[in-house]
């Protein structure tokens, strides 16, 4: 990529974040009309990436970026091929319409500027996620989508339901992100590459690796949580607590498809194995059935669409892992079709709620006359969702049945799952598009009327787009779906299906799906009641399980806190020194790396022997002291003996420092002990003293053994030579020790001084508290 083009691409990735910075101020200035200039941000991004279409449609891959940490091969780099370009265009194109829609939907909201900022930050995070070539940047943007979606889902933070939904989404998707991080690190270890563009050529090595299965399950953990696969599907419908622009954007076209993107991206590397072609279709098919059944059960327009989104995500996972000849093409077609019709229908649901005050489909009738444009957008989008010709949804459904059809039991089972799921989604599509608009009008909380252009422009454009690319499918395949399918399959794919029905098994299966959907739609109330009874009979579900897990986590944390933080200093001290003793004694015991026992030196001079004897006498004085104060003073003998040894072995500066420190320590400790008014002696029984004595002996022995091991090893003079060479020339000091402390370790020394100061302040506060308490008691 040329430097100029690379710079413009980098700016395109940054634009949404820059827009997020100015959105609040612009909204204060222009009100809801700020949506118009802010929509230029994603529009500019869309037009920029549209310029790559010619190269990508001819099979080229565009890469670029900048080195970040070259020593670890970490870069801010991007990869633009058929898969990432399709996502980039969907994110920025639908994002443009969502910004406009939010301008009308949240008109007059006191925090509309904040909402624009959040939605643009999310947009930038999602763009970075689908275009990242670097493993690290993929993970960073992955987690950014979780954080920004948390802010969007919990936008109405005054409601407990919104806060719960935001926390639930963050916990599930953020937790899955940790699995993804581990999987990416394992991929790095197996292949020794950190870029997706290079990873594509390591498929055979990854599949043959003994780490394939753990790597596979870690990646699935990230993808399944993000894309709401069973049993992690519960967070997505709960996220409908967010404003409708969030639902239309995050949970139909962007965030929930991040996991789908990841699976599609890694299909050439992890696919074509028994695990991949078994687990993905199994969980995808189960999610498809669970989502579609739960969608029929709902009467809230957004929840009906939310559960069909869960079902659609399951269908995409099923297709991604199915492994047949046309599966990649079917997944590519359905990915695009779903983004268009689901985004439109979510916005329609928001318009209905905005103009009538309710989303309950059982309380809505006859809105077509009052809201004709909204009704038309809903009907066009529903026809595509139902998979009827000549809409793009029809092409996707036909290709799905081409990919799944076969004579073996596996193909029959998944084809049956697809028929049931698609049939139920057919019924939901027309329940959303017809039931609120047809029939005799009923009274609603607000008098219905057509919304402003900011509201209906988005769903109408998306619905019409689903029709036009179905009619002009050859152009759509050449520019969009064929490059997308090729990237998913890891080899060139040419999508040829058209909107003209072709007689054969796929058309027959499609007709069966339509017939089944019509039957369910005509008996929707009975189907809703049956689904409700089924869920009630099952009882427990993952959503309730999440609350139980979180409650158990809180109870467990409280228990651990009560055990480890009881508020008693002696317990903290005992635990700390016991841990130190274990850290010093367990490793040499496990690995057998004990030091050699020291040998008493022959001909030891009398004065050195006298110092050793004095130290031993000091230890005896500490152990036999009758009071705490005497023990503290006797303890100072050890420090003075060490200082004498420094002096005898030619280190007078260290000896002087040791004398000063030891003197001050004894004085301060004695002062503190007298002010604390403790009992003069330790009156505890022997059974309480023995554990403390054992821990003290273990710590002393451990440090002694550690020092012996260190001194018996080879002395490395590298640091000594460095400081001897540079202390004079760099720090202009002849005293090497002082130069190290003041110059080379100046920041560390400052930190140590700060620690001593804080400790002194803590001691002073304890003394003053004791004095104040005694004074109040005396009073």
pLDDT tens, 344-362?
A: 999 999 999 999 999 999 9
Q: Is the pLDDT of residue 54 over 50?
A: yes
pLDDT band at residue 698 under the 50/70/90 scheme: very high
pLDDT tens, 171-200?
A: 999 999 999 999 999 999 999 998 999 999
Give the residue-averaged pLDDT of 221-249.
94
Tokens of 227: 């894309």
Of the two residues 776 and 467, the one the predictor is more confident about is: 467
- Stated length of the chain: 779
pLDDT tens, 594-604?
A: 888 888 777 77
Please give the C-alpha separations between residue 514 and each of 40, 384, 520, in angstroms, as whole numbers.
Answer: 40, 12, 10
Percent of residues, the chain, with pLDDT higher than 90 = 65
pLDDT band at residue 778 under the 50/70/90 scheme: very low
pLDDT tens, 521-560?
A: 999 999 999 999 998 888 888 989 999 999 999 999 999 9
User: How many whole angstroms separate alpha carbon 461 and alpha carbon 340?
Assistant: 9
pLDDT band at residue 775 under the 50/70/90 scheme: very low
Q: Residue 604: which H helix or E strand, with range?
A: none
Give the residue-averaged pLDDT of 743-761.
86
SS (H, E, C) 540-594: CCHHHHHHHHHHHHHHHHHHHHHHHCCCCHHHHHHHHHHHHHHHHHHHHHHHCCC
pLDDT tens, 395-445?
A: 999 999 999 988 899 999 999 999 999 999 999 999 999 999 999 889 888
| pLDDT the model gives residue 340 | 95
Q: Is the pLDDT of residue 770 over 90?
A: no
Q: Is the pLDDT of residue 95 over 80?
A: yes
Tokens of 110: 């006191």
Percent of residues, the chain, with pLDDT higher than 70 = 98
Q: Is the pLDDT of residue 580 over 70?
A: yes
The number of beta carbons lying within 10 Å of the beta carbon of residue 554 is 10
User: How many whole angstroms separate alpha carbon 491 and alpha carbon 380?
Assistant: 34
Q: Is the pLDDT of residue 777 over 60?
A: no
Cα-flanking dihedrals φ and ψ of residue 68, to 5°?
-110, -65
Residue 144: CA count within 13 A, CB half-sphere: 20
pLDDT band at residue 1 under the 50/70/90 scheme: low
Q: Are 170 and 239 in contact (CB under 8 A)?
A: no
pLDDT band at residue 779 under the 50/70/90 scheme: very low
| pLDDT the model gives residue 677 | 66
pLDDT tens, 549-575?
A: 999 999 999 999 888 888 888 888 898
- The sign of the CA dihedral 446, 448, 453, 455 is positive
pLDDT band at residue 637 under the 50/70/90 scheme: confident
| pLDDT the model gives residue 653 | 79
Instruction: State the average pLDDT for the chain.
Output: 90
| pLDDT the model gives residue 771 | 59
Q: Is the pLDDT of residue 127 over 90?
A: yes
Please give the C-alpha separations between residue 113 and each of 234, 346, 552, 772, in angstroms, as whole numbers.
Answer: 30, 22, 38, 52
Give the residue-averaged pLDDT of 305-315.
96
Give the residue-averaged pLDDT of 134-142.
94
| pLDDT the model gives residue 608 | 83
User: How many whole angstroms separate alpha carbon 113 and alpha carbon 30?
Assistant: 10
Among the residue ranges 237-241, 693-697, 748-752, the one predicted with the least confidence is 748-752
User: How many whole angstroms separate alpha carbon 513 and alpha carbon 507?
Assistant: 10
Among the residue ranges 140-154, 329-343, 586-600, the one predicted with the least confidence is 586-600
Of the two residues 295 and 744, the one the predictor is more confident about is: 295
| pLDDT the model gives residue 776 | 46
| pLDDT the model gives residue 656 | 87
Q: Is the pLDDT of residue 132 over 60?
A: yes
């Amino acid at each position: 990529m040329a430097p100029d083009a690379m710079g413009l691409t980098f700016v395109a990735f940054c634009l949404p974040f820059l827009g997020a910075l100015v959105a609040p101020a612009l909204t204060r200035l222009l009100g809801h009309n700020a949506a118009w200039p802010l929509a230029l941000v994603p529009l500019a991004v869309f037009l920029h990436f549209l310029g790559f279409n010619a190269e990508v449609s001819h099979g080229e891959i565009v890469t670029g970026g900048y080195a970040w940490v070259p020593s670890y091969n970490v870069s801010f780099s991007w990869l633009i091929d058929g898969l990432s370009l399709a996502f980039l265009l969907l994110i920025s194109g639908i994002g443009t319409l969502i910004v406009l829609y939010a301008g009308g939907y949240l008109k007059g909201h006191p925090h509309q500027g904040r909402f624009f900022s959040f939605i643009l930050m999310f947009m930038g995070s999602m763009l970075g996620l689908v275009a990242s070539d670097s493993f690290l940047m993929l993970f960073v943007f992955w987690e950014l989508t979780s954080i920004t979606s948390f802010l969007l889902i919990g936008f109405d933070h005054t409601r407990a339901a919104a806060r719960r939904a935001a926390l639930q989404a963050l916990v599930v998707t953020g937790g899955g992100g940790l699995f993804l991080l581990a999987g990416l690190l394992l991929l790095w270890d197996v292949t020794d590459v950190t870029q997706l563009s290079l990873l594509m050529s390591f498929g055979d090595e990854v599949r043959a690796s003994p780490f394939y299965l753990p790597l596979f399950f870690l990646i699935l953990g990230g993808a399944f949580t993000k894309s709401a696969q069973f049993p992690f599907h519960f967070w997505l419908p709960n996220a409908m607590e967010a404003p409708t622009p969030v639902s239309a954007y995050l949970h139909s076209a962007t965030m929930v498809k991040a996991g789908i993107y990841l699976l599609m991206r890694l299909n050439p590397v992890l696919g074509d194995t028994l695990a991949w072609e078994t687990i993905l279709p199994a969980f995808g098919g189960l999610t498809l059935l669970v989502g579609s059944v739960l969608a029929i059960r709902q009467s809230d327009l957004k929840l009906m669409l939310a559960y069909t989104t869960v079902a659609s995500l399951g269908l995409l996972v099923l297709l991604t892992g199915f492994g047949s000849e046309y599966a990649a093409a079917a997944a590519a077609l359905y990915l695009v079709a779903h983004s268009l019709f689901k985004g439109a229908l979510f916005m329609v649901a928001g318009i209905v709620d905005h103009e009538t005050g309710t989303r309950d489909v059982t309380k809505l009738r006859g809105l077509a006359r009052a809201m004709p444009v909204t009704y038309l957008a809903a009907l066009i989008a529903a026809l595509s969702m139902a998979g009827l010709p000549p809409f793009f949804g029809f092409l996707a459904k036909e290709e799905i049945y081409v990919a799944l059809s076969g004579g073996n039991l596996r193909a029959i089972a998944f084809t049956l799952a697809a028929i049931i799921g698609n049939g139920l989604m057919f019924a939901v599509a027309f329940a959303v598009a017809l039931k609120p608009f047809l029939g005799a009008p009923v009274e609603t909380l607000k008098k219905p009327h057509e919304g402003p252009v900011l509201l209906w422009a988005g769903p109408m454009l998306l619905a019409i787009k689903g029709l036009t690319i179905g009619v002009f499918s050859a152009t759509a395949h050449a520019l969009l779906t064929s490059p997308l399918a090729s990237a998913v399959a890891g080899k060139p794919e040419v999508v040829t299906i058209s909107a003209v029905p072709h007689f054969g098994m796929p058309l027959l299966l499609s007709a069966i799906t339509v017939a089944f959907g019509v039957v369910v739609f005509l008996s929707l109330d009975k189907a809703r009641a049956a689904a409700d009874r089924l869920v009630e009979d099952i009882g427990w579900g993952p959503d309730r399980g999440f609350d139980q897990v979180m409650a158990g986590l809180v109870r467990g944390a409280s228990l651990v806190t009560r055990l480890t933080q009881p508020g008693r200093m002696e317990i903290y001290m005992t635990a700390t020194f016991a841990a130190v003793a274990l850290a010093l004694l367990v490793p040499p015991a496990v690995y057998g790396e004990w030091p050699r026992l020291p040998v008493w030196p022959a001909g030891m001079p009398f004065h050195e022997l006298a110092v050793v004897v004095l130290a031993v006498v000091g230890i005896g004085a500490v152990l036999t002291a009758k009071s705490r104060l005497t023990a503290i003073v006797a303890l100072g003998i050890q420090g003075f003996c060490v200082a004498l040894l420094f002096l005898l072995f030619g280190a007078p500066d260290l000896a002087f420092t040791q004398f000063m420190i030891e003197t001050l320590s004894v004085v301060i400790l004695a002062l503190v002990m007298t002010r604390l008014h403790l009992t003069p002696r330790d009156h505890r029984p022997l059974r309480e003293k023995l554990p403390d004595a054992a821990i003290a002996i273990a710590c002393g022995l451990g440090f002694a053994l550690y020092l012996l091991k260190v001194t018996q090893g080879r002395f490395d003079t590298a640091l000594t030579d460095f400081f001897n060479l540079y202390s004079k020339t760099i720090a202009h000091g002849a005293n090497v020790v002082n130069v190290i402390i003041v110059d080379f370790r100046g920041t560390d020394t400052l930190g140590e001084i700060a620690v001593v100061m804080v400790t002194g302040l803590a001691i002073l506060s304890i003394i003053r508290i004791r004095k104040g308490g005694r004074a109040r008691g005396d009073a």
